[in-house]
Chains A and B, each alone.
Chain A
Amino acid sequence: MRQVRTEWTKFRTVPGWVAATIAAALATVLVALFAGGSGSASPAPPVGPDGQPVADSFYFVRKQLTGDGSVTVPVTSLTSAAHDGPTDVPWAKAGLIIKQNTEPGSPYVAIMVTGGHGVRMQHGFTGDIAGPVPSARWLRLERSGDTVTGLASTDGTDWRPVGTATVSGPTVQGGLFVASPPQVRGMGTVGTVSAAAFGGVRADGEWDGRGWTSEQIGAESPTFAGYPDGSTGSVKGSIATEPEPEAEPGPRTGTGTGTGTGSTVVTGAGDIAVAVRETLATGGILSNILTGTFVALIILAVVGALFVTTEHRDGLILATIAAEPRRLRVLGAKAIVLVVVCLAVGLIGTFLAARLGMRLARANGVFIIPVTPAQELRVVVGTAVMLAAVAVLALAVGTIGRSGAGAVTTVVVAIVLPYLLVANPFTPAVVADWLARTTPAAAFAIQQTIAPQHQVDSIYTPYVGYFPLSPWAGLLVLVGWTLVALAVAAVVSHRRDT
C-alpha cells in the first residue's frame, strides 16, 4: 500500500503525465465531436417495435382483416434470380403475412416457405421458428383476438402449428408476400428477385369483401436494395379464391398441380428482418464515433512505458529499489496506479465521447444505430478496461526491455497494426478472422453494438463492424496478453538487479 502511494506520488508530480492522461480523454471526446460533426445527413431507416432499425420491404398482396379470420394457401414453387440469371437465395421468402399496417416497421406475423431453410414462422423482425416439417408447402395463419397462429401442412389436411405471436389492432392487413434479400458475393452484395407460384387462396373470417390490392412495401426505405435491373414487383394471374370448406376430400400432394384451382405468380424483392450493417450502408455505429480511442490508446501506452523506462534511463530505479527491494511490489504498485488512472480517464472520456458524439451526429441528421443503456455501459466500461490493459501492457513491456522506444513501438504495432489489417477490406477473411481472435486488437470487439442475425445472410466481418469474438471474450484476449507480459516482467525483474 505504501508502495502504491509512492508510485502515485511519482505519477501525479510529473505534470506531463497528468497532462497526457487528460489529453487522452480530451482527444477521445474531440475525435467523437469530429466524427459526429462530419458525415452527411442520411435518411432514417424504418424502426421496429424495439426501436432497432429494420429492413421491411416486400411485395404484398393484401386484404384488410377487421376481426378474427384465417388465410390458407399452398406455395407451389419459389425461384430466385439476380441480375445475371437464376441463383439460390436461401432466405428468399414466400408465404402469408398478417401485418398491423403497411408502414415499414409495424408488427407482423408471417409463415413462409424459404429458398433453403424450409418452412419458417417469423414475427417482430427477430422471432424465427422453424416449421416441424421443413418440406411442408401448405401455409395457414389464423388470427383470434390479437393472437396469430401459424400452421403448416404437407398435404393441406394434416395441419401442425408452428408458433404463435401477436399483432394488435382493430384492423390488420393480411395476404400473400414475397421477399428476396440481397445475396453475398465476394466483398459485397447483389440484389435478387424471387417469384413464387401460389395455389388457390382461401380466406375465412372477417376479411374485407373487396378484392386484393398489391404493392411494394418499403419501396423508398434506405434498407431496401431495390430490384435487379429489368425486374419489378408484380402479381400475375388472377388470385384464385378457393371456395371449398377446409375438409376437402381426397389427398393433396405437397407441391405440384393438385393444390387448388388456380395459380398466381407473385414477384418480389426486399427482406423482413433486423437491419444489418450491409443493408444499412448509410449512418454510423457507436464504434465509429469512438475512433478517438486509438489516440487515447497511443498516449496511454507512451505514459505506461515511460512510467518505468524513465526510471531506468535516469537512474531513479536505484532509489526506488533501495526503498522497496521487492521488485514485484514495485511492478504491482505501478500497475495499480496505471489501472486506476486509466480507468478514470477512460470512463470519463468514453462516456462523454459516446454521448456528445451521438448527439451531434443525430443533430446533423446522421442515423446512428441506437444502443441500449446496457450496451452503452458495456462499451464505456469495456473501453476504459481496454485502455488500462494497454497501459499496463506497455508498462510490462517497458519493464522487460527497459527501453521506452521499444515498448511503445511494440505495443502500438501489436494493437494498431492488427486492427488496421482487420479493418482493411482487402485482407483475406481467414486472416482477418484469425487476427481478430488472437491479437490484442481483438479487444475492439468490446465496442461492437450490432449483432449478426442468423436469419440474414450478410457480410459479418470486422471490417463492417462484426468481430468474431463476443465483446467480453475479445477484451479478455487483450487482458490475457497483458497478464502474460506482466508475468514475464515479474520474472525478469525478479531475476536481474534492476
Chain B
Amino acid sequence: MTRALHAEWTKLRTVTAPWWLLLGAIAGVVAGRVVAAGLPGVDAFIGIELGQALTAVFGVLMFSGEHTTGTIRTSLIAVPRRISLLTAKAIVLIAVTGPLTVGIGALTAGIGVSAGVAGILQASHLVLVALIGLGTATVVRDSAAGIGVVLGLLYLPALLAQATGEAWVQRFAPSTTEPGITAGWALAALAAGCLAIIHPTNTIIRPTSPAGHSANVIIRLANAIIRFANAVIRPTDARD
C-alpha cells in the first residue's frame, strides 16, 4: 500500500495540470471570500461555488487521465488489486487537497463572513467534491464524460431548486452547504467506483475502436444520470 501511495503521489506530482486546477480553485475561494466581505448580503459560499468546479475536474482527471494516456495498464500491472489502486488515489487526493483547503479556511477566516471552524468545514467541501469526481471518473472512465456528469451533479440541482421552488433538491445535492450530505455523495461515488473497477465487464484496456469505447462511455453516462435521478427522487420518499 505504501508503494501504491508513493506511486500515486509521483504521478500527481510530476504533472502540471492538477496543480493549476488546485491553484485556480484556491483563487476562486479566496476571491469569493473577499467579495463576500466587501459586499454585505453576498453569501461567503459563493467562493466555494466557484472553486468546486475546478476541484471536481481535478478529481476526475486523477483517474480518467490514466485512461486517456493508457498509463492505467502499467498502474494495474504494478498494483493488481484494483480497490487498492482506487484507495491509494483517494488517500493521495485527500492528503493533497485536505491541507490546502483547510489552510485556505484558516487563512481566510479573518476575511470572510464565516470564520474558524465554519470556514474550514466549508473548505472541506472542496475535498469531498474532488472525491465525487474521482468516483465518477472510475465509473465513466472518460475525462469529458466524467467532467460533464460531475459538473451536472454540482450545478443542476441549484438551478432546478430555483426553478421549481423545491429547496430540498439543492439541500440533498452534492453542492449543498451541509458537509454531511456532500460526504454521503462522496462515499456513494467512491462505492460506485469500487463496484465499477472490480466489475468483470470492466475492460481496463480501452477497446481500440473509438465507437465501441464511446458507446461504453455514454451508456455509463446514462447509468450515472439514472443513479443521480434515483438519488434525487429517494429523499422525497423519505420526507413524505
Contacts and interface: CB of A to CB of B under 8 A. Distances in A.
Interface residues of A, number: 53
Contacts of A405: 57, 60-61, 64-65, 68, 143-144, 146-147
A316 B156 CA distance: 34
Contacts of B218: 14-17, 19-20
Interface string A262-299: 00000000000000000000001001110100110011
Interface residues of B, number: 48
A407 interface: yes
A424 interface: yes
A286 to B, nearest CB: 11
A417 B143 contact: no
Nearest to B217: A16
A31 B64 CA distance: 29
Given A291-B159, A302-B145, A314-B208, A14 B215 contact: yes
A419 B53 CA distance: 14
A437 to B, nearest CB: 20
Interface string A288-332: 110100110011011001100111011010000000000000000
Interface stretch (A95-103, A120-128, A237-245, A408-416): A408-416
Nearest to B208: A314
A302 B215 contact: no
A295 B143 contact: no
Contact of B144 (A23, A294, A407): A407
Given A405-B60, A405-B61, A310 B68 contact: no
Contacts of A27: 225
A17 B146 CA distance: 15
A306 B156 contact: no
A170 interface: no
Interface string B4-37: 0000000000000000000000000000000000
Nearest to A416: B155
Interface of A: 10, 13-17, 19-20, 23, 27, 30-31, 34-35, 38-39, 187, 284, 287-289, 291, 294-295, 298-299, 301-302, 305-306, 309-311, 313-314, 316, 403-405, 407-409, 412-413, 416-417, 419-420, 423-424, 426-428
17 contacts: A16-B215, A20-B218, A35-B164, A295-B152, A295-B156, A306-B142, A306-B144, A310-B214, A314-B213, A405-B60, A405-B144, A408-B145, A409-B147, A412-B53, A416-B151, A417-B50, A426-B41
